[in-house]
């Protein structure tokens, strides 16, 4: 059985994510929806894009991508999330992907990967980013968002607020640590900015990177 770096086996994590999605209310508005939507739409999506919404949840951003892209696929590790997405957006393509395995797509299959509020939940970040690079075409773009954990916020609120023992945020990112991570995995043209809240206490990181 595969063992994740967080100390939980993959079956346990899979059950956890399934339970989360089964318990969420039927009507659900994603957190920071407008901010994330503005970031995505402001990133220059073109009609010829082949896009992957990785960690698509209920498919709201998959549907948004479908309005401007030629080909879009939504993917999530939770079958309960994919069931919601298919019910809400029956005309779009959604697939369940393995929590700890390769993505079921060909090399260079996409020109754009959108992963919003996902990377902080990933146990094996190295494998995940390697798969993202593999499925991106040369000069393809990665757009991601993740909660910001700047030094000021951590000092003010304490790390417990952002990393609860039973929570699902496995990794905490600063703008610097996210930049170093993406650079280490060969991404270029990095643009990372913080957003939401007052300057020392920003809530979100918005990142663009090129394969």
At 190-200, the pLDDT tens digits run 999 988 666 77
In terms of Cα–Cα distance, which of 44, 13, 1 is closest to 128?
A: 13
Are 191 and 208 in contact, with CB atoms under 8 Å apart?
Answer: yes
Are 53 and 62 in contact, with CB atoms under 8 Å apart?
Answer: yes
At residue 31, the pLDDT reads: 74
Residue 54 predicted with pLDDT over 60: yes
Residue 207 predicted with pLDDT over 90: yes
Beta 110-116 vs 50-54: how paired, if at all? parallel
Confidence of residue 161 (pLDDT cuts 50, 70, 90): low
Q: pLDDT > 70: what percent of the chain?
A: 82
Half-sphere CA count of 80, side-chain side, radius 13 A: 13
Question: Can you tell me the mean pLDDT for 67-75?
Answer: 93
At residue 155, the pLDDT reads: 52
At residue 6, the pLDDT reads: 45
Are 24 and 54 in contact, with CB atoms under 8 Å apart?
Answer: no
């Amino acid at each position: 059985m595969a063992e994740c770096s967080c100390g939980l086996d993959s079956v346990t994590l899979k059950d956890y994510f399934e339970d989360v999605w089964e318990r969420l209310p039927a009507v659900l508005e994603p957190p920071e929806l407008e901010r994330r939507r503005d970031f995505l739409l402001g990133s220059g999506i073109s009609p010829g894009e082949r896009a992957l919404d990785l960690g698509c949840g209920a498919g709201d951003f998959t549907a948004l991508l479908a309005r401007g892209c030629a080909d879009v696929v939504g993917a999530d590790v939770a079958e309960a999330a994919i069931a919601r997405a298919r019910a809400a957006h029956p005309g779009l393509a959604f697939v369940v992907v393995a929590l700890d395995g390769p993505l079921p797509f060909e090399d260079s299959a996409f020109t754009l990967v959108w992963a919003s509020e996902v990377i902080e939940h990933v146990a094996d970040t190295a494998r995940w980013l390697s798969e993202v690079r593999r499925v991106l075409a040369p000069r393809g773009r990665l757009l991601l968002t993740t909660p910001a954990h700047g030094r000021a916020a951590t000092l003010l609120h304490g790390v417990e607020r952002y990393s609860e023992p039973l929570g699902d945020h496995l990794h905490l990112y600063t703008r610097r640590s996210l930049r170093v991570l993406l650079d280490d995995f060969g991404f270029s043209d990095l643009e990372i900015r913080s957003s939401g809240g007052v300057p020392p206490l920003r809530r979100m990181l918005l990142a663009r990177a090129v394969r």
